């Protein structure tokens, strides 16, 4: 009943299964366009960071980021061009943030970022720099060149009892920024 299997075959079979498991994990947890965490996973990361804040007593920030006038980009230049802009923002965030920061695609053109050990003022400064850098990028679609700006809302994760409340506060700060003229950063609680 036992079939002899060579060591080489056994090791190869295990490696292939491990590779497939990693691929499946990526497909389940990563956004296919950007490679960032999916909505549900980034929300879990907010909850985990809130627990770390309570345990260790450090500050952390949640930042909701949204591309300004993105519907106009899709309508004017097409969805393929919109995808290029979304990927560019994902790459900008990946390149400008620390490895310990968590970035997720929250939905459409919205992104959620978790910044451990970062108070809201430091998060505001960081995302002001990111917004300025991203605003300097140019995109070429349909033989036209254009730029895109972003808006961001920042909230202190450690000021909330539930992670969803921190996300909601960051989202409200984002929409406060949009009402104030877009292309910038607003911290929750700022007047």
Catalytic residues: 109
CA dihedral 113, 171, 128, 51 (to 10 degrees): -40
Q: Are 38 and 108 in contact (CB under 8 A)?
A: no
What is d(CA 94, CA 99) in angstroms, rounded to the nearest whole number?
8
DSSP summary character for residue 186 = E
Q: Are 109 and 88 in contact (CB under 8 A)?
A: no
The kind and range of the H/E element at 165 are helix 163-179
What is d(CA 22, CA 168) in angstroms, rounded to the nearest whole number?
32
């Amino acid at each position: 009943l036992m079939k002899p299997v060579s060591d080489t075959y056994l090791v190869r079979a295990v490696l292939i299964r491990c590779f497939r498991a990693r691929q499946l994990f990526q497909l389940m947890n990563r956004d296919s366009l950007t490679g960032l965490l999916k909505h549900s996973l980034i929300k879990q990361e907010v909850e985990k960071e809130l627990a770390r804040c309570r345990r260790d007593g450090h500050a952390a920030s949640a930042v909701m980021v949204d591309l300004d006038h993105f519907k106009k980009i899709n309508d004017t230049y097409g969805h393929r061009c919109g995808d290029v802009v979304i990927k560019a923002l994902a790459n900008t965030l990946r390149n400008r943030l620390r490895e310990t920061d968590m970035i997720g695609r929250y939905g459409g053109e919205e992104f959620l970022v978790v910044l451990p050990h970062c108070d809201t003022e430091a998060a505001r400064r960081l995302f002001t720099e990111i917004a300025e850098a991203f605003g300097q990028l140019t995109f070429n679609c349909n033989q036209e060149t254009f730029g895109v700006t972003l808006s961001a809302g920042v909230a202190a994760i450690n000021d909330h009892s539930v992670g969803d409340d921190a996300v909601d506060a960051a989202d409200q700060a984002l929409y406060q920024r949009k009402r104030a003229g877009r292309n910038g950063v607003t911290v929750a609680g700022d007047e």
